[in-house]
């Protein structure tokens, strides 16, 4: 597998690309493998795309909270697959901004390695668990960032009014039936690029006017020339790098795309519905 990525990196390098993003192959570019892949390019920089994917995930959730009246500071967020690259970056962002953060992973040693010493702060209660179903059922906002090749749940598993951001590829949540109008399930971590693109069928995305956050990262880094922002390490991305990539993304016209999945585009009618549920929940 690594040799195929190396080959692709060498090809892009020879064609004159200045940055290559590894996207869904992030996990194999951690640690020693990351160094091997990055060395395959002589001039081109290699980045894992985690930063922009996480930034677009967070920005999408903030926007949707505004649309639906969910107060982040009062909410419970569950991150399913928090031990991964995107999961850790999102967890770091939400750490002191929500009421409760539930972080799941298959491997409890990893969970403890990354989050075991996170204090129970004044603002946020942190819970670590390997029970995805528990975390899914508890949360107002659920972020899926696992590398699972199978879907992990369906729409019945969420509580009324839930916002479900599915960053995973292949998708972690099945939208095969989609009968509920009291939740929002959308493909997250994506960016709407400036200008028009025609590719949705090829890349498995819900629409033409969106690309994977990791692709957006490579483009924005190249346009801005902030090559020092490229990441291929397994530790947390420094906040300064995240700031620079966010700046580059928005400066060059990338925005949060419409909230949608393969079967539905959400509109203000859907958001008003959620708003009503959130309002009723608050009065209880």
Ligand X SMILES: NC(=O)c1ccc[n+]([C@@H]2O[C@H](COP(=O)([O-])OP(=O)(O)OC[C@H]3O[C@@H](n4cnc5c(N)ncnc54)[C@H](OP(=O)(O)O)[C@@H]3O)[C@@H](O)[C@H]2O)c1
Please report, as ranges, the residues that interact with ligand X according to CB under 6 A.
Answer: 23-24, 26-27, 49-50, 53, 80-81, 83-87, 104-107, 110, 132, 145-148, 152, 167-169, 189-190, 212-214
Residue 113 Cβ vs ligand X, minimum distance, rounded to whole Å: 10
Q: DSSP character for 155?
A: G
Which residue bears the tokens 């953060």? 101
* CA–CA gap between residue 208 and residue 161 (Å, rounded): 28
Residue 76 Cβ vs ligand X, minimum distance, rounded to whole Å: 17
Nearer to ligand X, 108 or 281 (CB): 108
Map 54-69 to HEC letters: HHHHHHHHHHHHHHHC
Phi first, then psi: give them for residue 139, nearest 5 degrees.
-90, 150
Q: How many Cα atoms sit within 13 Å of 53 on the Cβ side?
A: 30
Nearest to 220 by CA among 266, 255, 258, 181: 255
Nearer to ligand X, 45 or 88 (CB): 88
* CA–CA gap between residue 9 and residue 254 (Å, rounded): 24
Residues shown for the chain: 284
Residue 280 Cβ vs ligand X, minimum distance, rounded to whole Å: 31
Helix then strand then coil, % of the chain, to nearest 5: 45, 15, 40
Nearer to ligand X, 3 or 130 (CB): 130
Residue 211 Cβ vs ligand X, minimum distance, rounded to whole Å: 8
Nearer to ligand X, 161 or 257 (CB): 257
Residue 26 Cβ vs ligand X, minimum distance, rounded to whole Å: 3
* CA–CA gap between residue 60 and residue 69 (Å, rounded): 14
Tokens of 155: 């729409």
Q: Which residues contact 123 (CB under 8 A, 6 or more apart)?
A: 73, 96, 97, 98, 99
Nearer to ligand X, 18 or 147 (CB): 147
Residue 104 Cβ vs ligand X, minimum distance, rounded to whole Å: 5
Nearest residue relative to ligand X (C-beta): 84
Contact 72, 272 (CB under 8 A): no
Residue 106 Cβ vs ligand X, minimum distance, rounded to whole Å: 4
Nearer to ligand X, 23 or 193 (CB): 23
- Whether a cis peptide bond, with omega within 30° of 0, leads into 248 is no
Nearer to ligand X, 14 or 31 (CB): 31
């Amino acid at each position: 597998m690594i040799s195929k990525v190396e080959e692709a990196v060498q090809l892009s390098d020879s064609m004159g690309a200045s940055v290559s993003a590894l996207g869904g192959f992030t996990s194999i570019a951690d640690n020693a493998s990351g160094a091997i892949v990055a060395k395959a390019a002589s001039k081109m920089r290699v980045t894992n795309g985690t930063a922009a994917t996480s930034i677009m995930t967070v920005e999408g959730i903030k926007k949707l909270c505004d649309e639906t009246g969910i107060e982040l500071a009062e909410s419970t967020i569950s991150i399913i697959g928090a031990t991964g690259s995107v999961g850790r970056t999102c967890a770091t962002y939400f750490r002191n901004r929500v009421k409760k953060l539930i972080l799941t992973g298959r491997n409890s040693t990893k969970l403890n390695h990354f989050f075991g010493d996170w204090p129970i702060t004044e603002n946020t209660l942190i819970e670590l668990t390997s029970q995805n179903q528990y975390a899914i059922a508890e949360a107002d906002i659920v972020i899926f960032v696992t590398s699972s090749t199978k879907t992990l749940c369906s729409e019945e598993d969420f509580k009324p009014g839930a916002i479900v951001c599915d960053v995973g590829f292949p998708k972690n949540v099945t939208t095969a039936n989609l009968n509920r109008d009291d939740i929002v399930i959308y493909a997250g971590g994506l960016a709407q690029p400036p200008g028009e693109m025609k590719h949705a069928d090829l890349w498995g995305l819900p629409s033409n006017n969106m690309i994977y956050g990791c692709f957006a990262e490579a483009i924005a880094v190249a346009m801005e020339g902030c090559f020092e922002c490229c990441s291929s390490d397994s530790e947390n991305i420094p906040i300064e790098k995240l700031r620079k990539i966010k700046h580059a993304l928005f400066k060059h016209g990338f925005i949060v795309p419409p909230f949608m999945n393969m079967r539905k585009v959400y509109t203000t009618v859907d958001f008003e519905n959620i708003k009503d549920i959130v309002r009723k929940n608050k009065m209880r």
